[in-house]
Structures are given as structure tokens and as C-alpha cells.
A and B are shown apart, each in its own frame.
Chain A
Amino acid sequence: MPCRSSPGRKGRPPPGYNHLSRGTTDTGVLVWQARSGLYYTYIGNGRAPRAALPSTAVQGSRTPRTATLGSSPVAPHRGRSRGPPVGVCGPRAPPGPRPPPLLVGCGGAAAAGWLCRGCVRGRSARGKMAAVTALRSSCRAAGRLVCIHRVRSCSSIRFIKSKYVCVFDKSALKFSHQQRLFRTSPVSYGQIVQFKLSDIGEGITEVTVKEWYVKEGDSVSQFDSICEVQSDKASVTITSRYDGVIRKLHYSIDDIAFVGKPLVDIEIDPSKGVSPEEDVVETPPMSHEEHTHQEIKGHKTLATPAVRRLAMENNIKLSEIVGTGKDNRILKEDILNYLAKQTGAILPPSPKAEIVPPARKAEAVPAAPKDKARRVPVPVSRPIAFSGKDRTEPVTGFQKAMVKTMSAALKIPHFGYSDEIDLTQLVQLREELKPLAEIRGVKLSFMPFFIKAASLGLLQYPILNASLDENCQNVTYKASHNIGVAMDTEQGLIVPNVKNVQVCSVFDIAVELNRLQSLGSAGQLGTSDLTGGTFTLSNIGTIGGTYAKPVILPPEVAIGALGKIQVLPRFNGRGEVFKAHIMNVSWSADHRIIDGATMARFSNLWKSYLESPASMLLDLK
């Protein structure tokens, strides 16, 4: 971590830490550096805490406890209350044989003292893992940035009297007598810190807030995006430094925000699930951007402490896992996937607010390099819970249109009629005509034939091209055959129609279909293309299926659904089996004005035109 020692800052090293040397980060924060590279920050006015750290020797069956910064005071040691406690965590007075613990955080309550927040689990002093994160001081007097640190272990907890106890005094007192295990406390006495807008560079002092990614009450994790600001052609994404809950947004959209002034207030919620706490393992030098690095064979892996613990519990080397998060960060999902591959089980990601049983013995074992423990992968014994959530979206756009159409269609009493068509001859004909059409620049499918045959049929049975009015009083026989073709686009079902098929040739229909198809896929169909239809054909067979039950599109009275063309064995007139191209058609019609016989006769006529295409020539106009 880049650190310059800077004279002129008052302050002595904290008691018991005389071996630390003083320095400052690039942002001017005073830090104390150990020979191991571990850094501590000390917030306040630089003076050592008043109360000498008493040697409350807590041994052996020490109560596991967690201390939180500032507002959330620590439960007192058993029988060793020291007056109004405030978040406290400190080292033993003499740095004994144990490694100096120390995690220093700052809280608003004890601005001039050492505070620590962490959770101590396990019972033995030795094996304790304390995760402590220091928080920014919310005390304006201090007004200093504080870095997040991690510590090795906290061998004891002390109480420090502080001048600023009054702020959280009452709550501290109340809490101190409540419970031992901080983590199971139901209420969060989270520390609210003000996250200031950091320097943008190039001497910029103000920016415009353009978009908020969070709102008040949302929870955020470290490195989540909070907002987007813009300054003079540069767009900047501001990410969160903390895990917590957003309590206040200081600006609205289009406001001018100032560098160095508070942007949001985040409540660090210590009782929240797995992530903010901490076991932390190894504490290599911290960069002032609060990464947890770990040099493993010269390879940095980024992972939050929760993820590291998960890896460690399951004896996974972090270097073996490919991170899928930002900056190749290893996420919890990556570990679970890796485990699933190993154990063959499918492990869904466990819900975030999972509480780890407090009795677990956590060891201060760093993850990969010193992975000396058991090599046998331990099957994860978590109960497999499904954490998927329902998702509700409003019905808009194409779906809304469908809802309207289909609700109207419901009023129509449908009946169905299906049949099988032998398209062997048509297939052959199309093969001959396809190259001719291509020369003219048009793609020829089967649809133009189907459409033209339908139009010829409608000439004989005009009732199928009619429309019934709302009160079922009048039937209007439409003169134009505007045959609609159902199209499946990205957004949904649209039904443009080919106008006046009765006067179009098969080639004209093919041209028009091409035009409608290209407009449809580009999403540029006009209103005239989509209105005025009188009869519809739906070629669902291009996707698949044989028989269907199509729904009539009002104000029409009939619709046909065409299945896929299959090659099937059939008997011919001489009783021989031959290869036939068979397609199924399913018609639906409005039974109020159309009867089964009419539909059947229309279908037979249509079928005859397609089974022997030459017969179409006789009736073409």
C-alpha cells in the first residue's frame, strides 16, 4: 500500500502498538503500519484513548461476542462490565505472546478512541477469528476517511471509555445487557456513514448526477454501482465502498454534486448475513481501495471474506477457481459450482441472509497457500433450498394487444375442422418454379400457393370472407380478399395481410409476402399492413406440429392453421405404397354464421386445388 510518512500529524501509536510506524495513505489518512505490512487506522484526534486498556483476561470459555462500531456496543464480558461500554475492541495491554489483534474501526460514538467491530466466534481465545471492519467515522468532527481493515484475531475485548459515549450511550447500555451473540440480535444498530464523492481527476470539483442505481432502503454490497454522474463529457460510475443499506440520497437526478461532499448515507448493518463480518484470514498489505488480495503463486485472487471462508471450509484452493465476477473476482456461485462438480450434487446458491451456526470453530488459517488441512472434499451438508423468486411484470406492448384480441375472440363460438392434404405434386411444382422466381429476385415458398388457393375457394364460399357486426344483426360480405399471414417476430405474433388476393397472381403474392416479411422482422410494419384483414392463414408448420386449434381474429370469421409437411407412406389408386408429402390443416370458423358443411366443402375445394395444382389454372382469373 502506498504510504508516505508525513510529519505534522499528532498522535502516538496506540498503546501496546509501539512497534508500529506512522504513515499516511495517498488520501491523507493517517495509518499505522506493522512490520508484517498490516495497516491500522486510528480515527480521532490522534490521541490515545484515555482509559487504559484493562487487562480483562478472558480465557478459555470466553463468550463469543461481536463488537460493532460505535452505536452497537459490545456485550460485556461475563461479569466484567466496565461501565458504559462502547464499541470496544482492543488489544491486551502488553502485547503478549499472542499476535497483536487489533482491528480498529471508528465509530461515531467514540471518535477519539479505538473501536472495533467484529464478530468473534468460537470459544477459544486462540482460535478466534475476528473480522473487523473499520468504518468511516460518521463523526463530523473527525471528518476523516477511514479505511477498511481486516484483522487477524481478537484475543480479547476491552472496553474503552470515550468522550463521545453520550451519543449512543443509552442504546449501548440497553444492548449490552441483551445478548451475547451479536449476530443473532434482531435489530440492527448499524453505523451510518456518509460516503463522500471521491476525486474524479483533472481538477474537477462538481458533477451532475444523472442516474441513481439504488434508492433509499436498498441494500448494497461493496463495489456495487450506486450512481452515474457526468462531468464535461465524462461519465463516471460511482461504486460503493461498503456493504449496508442506503439510508439517504443527498442529491436528485440532474442536481450538481460536489467532490468531497457526502453523496449517500449508508447504514452498515452488522447483523446482516454472511458478508460484512468477518473472518479474515491472512492480512497482507491492504491497498487503500480495500481489496482483499491474496498473493497465491504470484497470482492475485479477489474474493470477499465470506467467499474465502466458504472456500476454506470446503478445502478449496481459490487459485483453482475461475472467478466470474468483476475483475475476475471469485463469487459464492463460483465456489458452489466448483463444489457441485466435485460432489456431483447441484447446489443452488444459498440465500444471502444465511446465519452460520455460531458454535463453529473458525481457525485463523489462510486459504490457499497454506492449505495443509484435509484434502478430501467434504460434502456440503447444507439443506438444499430453492431460492428462486417469482417475478411480476406488467403486461405491455404486444402482450397487451394479444390480451385484447383474444378476449374479443372468446365471444366467438368456434368449431374446428381438420384434414390431410397430399402435396406431392405441389412440392414438385414449386421445385420447378423456385429458380424462376429467384431470377426475378423473389423467394418462393409454399404460402403464395396456399393463399391463392384460399382466395379461389373464397370466391365459391364468400361467407367465409365475411364479418358479423357487434349485435349479430348483419353479415357483411367483404369484396376484397385480404388474406392475413401470421408471423412470428421477436416481439411476438403479428398478422399483416396481403391485400386483394383475388386480383393477384401467385408471383405477386410472393413479392408482397417478401416485403411484409422483411418489414416485419425489422419492426417497421405500417398500420395499413396490419389492418383490413378478412381471412387468415397461420403456417405454424414452419415451427412444427400437425393439427392445431387456431383462434379466429376478430372481426374475421374463419382461420386456418397449417401443420408441417411430412413425408409419409400412402396408398395410391393401384394399392401401391408411395412416398407422399402430407400436410395437415386445421380450420376454425364462427359457428354463428358458418356451418360445418360449408367449412368442409371449402376445405375440400382448397385441398383439391393444392393436390392437383393444374386445376388452379382452370379457375385463375
Chain B
Amino acid sequence: MVLQSLKNCLWLSCVLRTPKACFWSTASGGLIIQSVSNDVYQNLAVEDWIHDHMDLEKQQILFLWRNSPAVVIGRHQNPWQECNLRLLRQKNIKLARRRSGGGTVYHDLGNINLTFFTTRKKYERMGNLKLVVKALKALRPQLDVHVTDRYDILLNKQYKISGTAAKLGRTSAYHHCTLLCNADKFVLSSVLKSPYKGLKSNATASVPASVKNLFEEDATLTSEILLDAIAKEYAVQHQIDHHITLINPADETLLPGISNKTKELQTWEWVYGKTPKFSISTCLNIAYKGSVLDIKVNMDVKHGRIEACNIDLPEQWLPSGLHSELVRSLTGSKFCPNEITMLVTTLLKVCPQDNELHSRWSLLCENMIRLM
């Protein structure tokens, strides 16, 4: 077993065109690899790495991976619009932005991800999804699954069990899709519901769909069984051995440069900063001393930073110097609760020590931060 995987590692390194190991493997058609890591960033980095570095002329690749709880948004999406960021932070669920397009999905260990790597010319999503359906049907013939023209896979013609996204580069392309085996539907629906109001954006919006786990349809199905079935079908179609090579996404010698890719995917600039320009127009209802104040707030956010900000306060509710100082501080800052908290608490330190003022300020700022 160990020897076999070692042999495949060597094979993989040759395939990866290192200058030293120059012989081309005789493998034809395809390669199936599976990640041993459940870190969404590491796995997305592997996808990027294969897309950028591997030559897919001689063989196509199927990459299988699963993640610990995470929400993955599409390349051009707005995380504030797509998910409940507060809940994500509370539950310690990671947020990642992938490089392919499409909508937002929730991943956990009950969801499997499949990535089909091909050259740009051989990019064909329908074929890949049909392969998945064929594998499912071979496993459980009574399953009613089919592919729609939106590249979804529906169970019983009603419930979505798989969503698709793709990325095309200059010479290579990949198509990845999810498959719901036994995910936590409760968490899924609660994190994918955005509580933020008043957002206006041209970002790609997700199309919500009702989902169901394959496990609910047939309780004997597990993620492992499904992974195996799909790998088997892929092996049959590409005429290769039914064999899965395990890779460790943290292995820098096998995948040189992978740690930089992983780091980049985790940076704020990538996850939040790549959000297309959007604006917020909302009204804060603050209860203060028995009355309710309506404070209109308008903000324009570009690259995840507040470009322009306007807060409509009642006259003299805050000293005007402080009001303008607040707006000035907000402009140019990241649209991020942590950073804004830092700024507003600092501003508080340098203004007169008046309890009334402090409480008003804290109230206003806390409500503002809730928008993020």
C-alpha cells in the first residue's frame, strides 16, 4: 500500500515536469487524486496549483476533496449579500472565495467536491456531470437523479444535490461540482441567509434552491462510498486503473509554491477585497433614553473598503467635530468589524470624557458595526 502510493508519488512528480525527472509517464488518459486535508484553503490552493502548473495534454485529472465547515463564495460574489457573516464568525466557520465563478455553497464533511481538470479545448461540463450521474445510478439504480441545463444535479426532479462552477485559463480549465451526501442542512440554511439589508450590488447573485442529502434518500450511502463510485466511473471512462492517489496539500516538495497560494487565498484582500463595488443604504433604529432614533446610513464600498460614507444624525446628537471625525475615519477603512471597532474606540479615547457622549457614541458605533 505504502509502496504503491510511493510509486504514484514518483509518477506524479514526473508528470509534474520537474526538470530532473524528464521521462513522461506512460499513464494514459487520467489521474485520480484525493486530498488528505480538510482545510478549504489548502484544497482550493491545490486546484489553483494544478491549473497553473500541470500539463493536461497527456492526461486529465480528477481531484476529490472534502472540507471542514466552510462557506465558499464564487469569484465575483459579495459575501455580505450571500451569507450571514456574523454567524460565520460566531461559529468559527471559514469563509473562502474560489477562483471559479458561480454561486455560494456550504461545505462540510458531509459534502464531497469533485474537480475535473482538462485542457481548455476538452472542457466539457455536461460530460462530467453525466459521469457523476452514471456513477450514482450504477451504485443505486433506483436513485432518480438527472442533470439540468443549468448544470445542477437534481434528486427526484426537485432537490438540488449538486452545484457547478468552472474556471478557464489560457491552456487549461477545470470544472468542479459539489455533491451533498450528509451535510448539515440546518447550518447550511442558516449561514446562507444574509441578514444585511439595503445592499445594492452587481455581484453575481446565488440562486437559492431546496436541497436534500443523498443520505436521506438512501441511508446506506456515505461520502466514502460515493467518492469511490465516482472514482471508479472516471477510471472506466478514461481507461485507467481504478486507483486514487492521496496528496497532502501542505507538501511543498510535491507542489512547489503551494503554501503561497494557500496564504493568498486566506488574505483579507482576496476574500473580502475582491468584492465588486456595492453600496449600502439603510436605516439604523437606535433606542436611546426611551425614544427611537432613525439614523440613515449610506456607504459605498469598493474593494472591501469604504469609499464614501454618510451618516444622518439628529442635530447636535454628537458634537459636529466628532461626527466629521467619525466619517473621516470610516472613509478608506476596511468594511470589517474588527478594524472599525479599533478606529472608533481610539476616537473615543481622544475626545472629552463625558459619560453621556460615550454612551451615545458606543451605541451608534455598535449599530454601525452590525452592518458589517
* B-binding residues in A (CB < 8 A): 200-202, 210-211, 223, 228, 230-237, 239, 253-254, 289, 297-299, 319-323, 326-328, 394, 396-398, 400-401, 404-405, 408, 467, 469-470, 476, 491-492, 494, 522-528, 530-531, 553-555
Q: What residues of A have a CB within 8 angstroms of the CB of B366 in the complex? A: 526-527
B29: CB under 8 A from chain A?
no
CA distance A237 to B172 in the complex (A): 11
- The closest CB in chain A to the CB of B22 belongs to A299
Interface string of B333-372 (1 = CB under 8 A from A): 1100111011111111110110000100010011001000
Partner-binding segment picked from B3-11, B136-144, B160-168, B247-255:
B160-168
CA distance A302 to B337 in the complex (A): 46
Please determine whether A530 and B345 come into contact, CB atoms closer than 8 angstroms: yes
Please determine whether B166 and A235 come into contact, CB atoms closer than 8 angstroms: yes
Please determine whether B353 and A467 come into contact, CB atoms closer than 8 angstroms: yes
Check A404/B347 contact, CB under 8 A, given A233-B151, A237-B169: yes
Please determine whether B204 and A230 come into contact, CB atoms closer than 8 angstroms: yes
The smallest beta-carbon distance between B208 and chain A, in angstroms, is 15
B110: CB under 8 A from chain A?
no
Please determine whether A469 and B100 come into contact, CB atoms closer than 8 angstroms: no
Please determine whether A398 and B342 come into contact, CB atoms closer than 8 angstroms: yes
* A-binding residues in B (CB < 8 A): 17-19, 22, 24, 52-53, 55, 74-76, 89, 92, 99-103, 120-121, 123-125, 151, 164-171, 173, 175, 202, 204, 274, 276-277, 305, 329, 332-334, 337-339, 341-350, 352-353, 358, 362, 365-366, 369
Please determine whether A397 and B339 come into contact, CB atoms closer than 8 angstroms: yes
CA distance A350 to B346 in the complex (A): 45
Please name 21 pairs of A and B residues whose Cβ atoms are closer than 8 Å in the assembled complex, sorted by A.
Answer: A201-B123, A202-B125, A233-B165, A234-B100, A235-B74, A235-B75, A235-B166, A254-B202, A254-B276, A299-B22, A319-B19, A327-B171, A396-B305, A401-B345, A405-B350, A476-B353, A491-B339, A524-B337, A527-B366, A531-B348, A553-B349
Q: What residues of B have a CB within 8 angstroms of the CB of A321 in the complex? A: 19
Not counting A210-B75, A298-B22, a sample of 12 additional A-B residue pairs whose C-beta atoms are within 8 angstroms of each other reads: A202-B123, A211-B76, A233-B165, A235-B74, A254-B276, A289-B171, A319-B19, A322-B19, A327-B55, A396-B332, A397-B342, A404-B346
Q: What residues of B have a CB within 8 angstroms of the CB of A469 in the complex? A: 352-353
Please determine whether B53 and A327 come into contact, CB atoms closer than 8 angstroms: yes
The smallest beta-carbon distance between B356 and chain A, in angstroms, is 15
Could you say which of B103, B168, B348 contacts A234, with CB atoms under 8 Å apart? B168
Could you say which of B89, B334, B347 contacts A524, with CB atoms under 8 Å apart? B89
Could you say which of A223, A235, A404 contacts B168, with CB atoms under 8 Å apart? A235
Kindly name the residue among A289, A398, A469 whose own CB sees the greatest number of chain B CB atoms within 10 A: A398
Check A328/B329 contact, CB under 8 A, given A527-B341, A531-B345: no
Please determine whether B343 and A400 come into contact, CB atoms closer than 8 angstroms: yes
Please determine whether B164 and A233 come into contact, CB atoms closer than 8 angstroms: yes
Could you say which of B74, B75, B175, B349 contacts A555, with CB atoms under 8 Å apart? B349
The smallest beta-carbon distance between A443 and chain B, in angstroms, is 19
CA distance A210 to B78 in the complex (A): 13
Q: What residues of B have a CB within 8 angstroms of the CB of A397 in the complex? A: 333-334, 339, 342-343
Please determine whether B358 and A531 come into contact, CB atoms closer than 8 angstroms: yes
CA distance A235 to B347 in the complex (A): 42
The smallest beta-carbon distance between A529 and chain B, in angstroms, is 9
Q: What residues of A have a CB within 8 angstroms of the CB of B339 in the complex? A: 397-398, 491
Q: What residues of B have a CB within 8 angstroms of the CB of A405 in the complex? A: 346, 349-350
Q: What residues of B have a CB within 8 angstroms of the CB of A526 in the complex? A: 341, 366
Could you say which of B17, B52, B102, B348 contacts A233, with CB atoms under 8 Å apart? B102
Please determine whether A201 and B22 come into contact, CB atoms closer than 8 angstroms: no
CA distance A289 to B55 in the complex (A): 15
CA distance A318 to B350 in the complex (A): 62
Check A328/B343 contact, CB under 8 A, given A235-B166, A237-B168: no
Q: What residues of B have a CB within 8 angstroms of the CB of A202 in the complex? A: 123-125
Could you say which of B76, B125, B164 contacts A230, with CB atoms under 8 Å apart? B76
Please determine whether A237 and B170 come into contact, CB atoms closer than 8 angstroms: yes
Please determine whether B345 and A239 come into contact, CB atoms closer than 8 angstroms: no
The smallest beta-carbon distance between B23 and chain A, in angstroms, is 8
Q: What residues of B have a CB within 8 angstroms of the CB of A394 in the complex? A: 332
CA distance A404 to B351 in the complex (A): 11
Check A400/B329 contact, CB under 8 A, given A202-B123, A236-B168: yes
- The closest CB in chain A to the CB of B52 belongs to A326
Please determine whether A210 and B76 come into contact, CB atoms closer than 8 angstroms: yes
Q: What residues of A have a CB within 8 angstroms of the CB of B52 in the complex? A: 326-327
The smallest beta-carbon distance between B46 and chain A, in angstroms, is 17
CA distance A400 to B348 in the complex (A): 14
Please determine whether B369 and A527 come into contact, CB atoms closer than 8 angstroms: yes
Please determine whether B170 and A235 come into contact, CB atoms closer than 8 angstroms: no
- The closest CB in chain B to the CB of A297 belongs to B22
Name the 10 nearest CB pairs between A and B, nearest first.
Answer: A235-B101, A234-B166, A233-B102, A401-B346, A523-B338, A530-B345, A236-B168, A408-B350, A230-B101, A210-B76
The smallest beta-carbon distance between A259 and chain B, in angstroms, is 12
- The closest CB in chain A to the CB of B352 belongs to A470
CA distance A42 to B166 in the complex (A): 37
Please determine whether A554 and B350 come into contact, CB atoms closer than 8 angstroms: yes
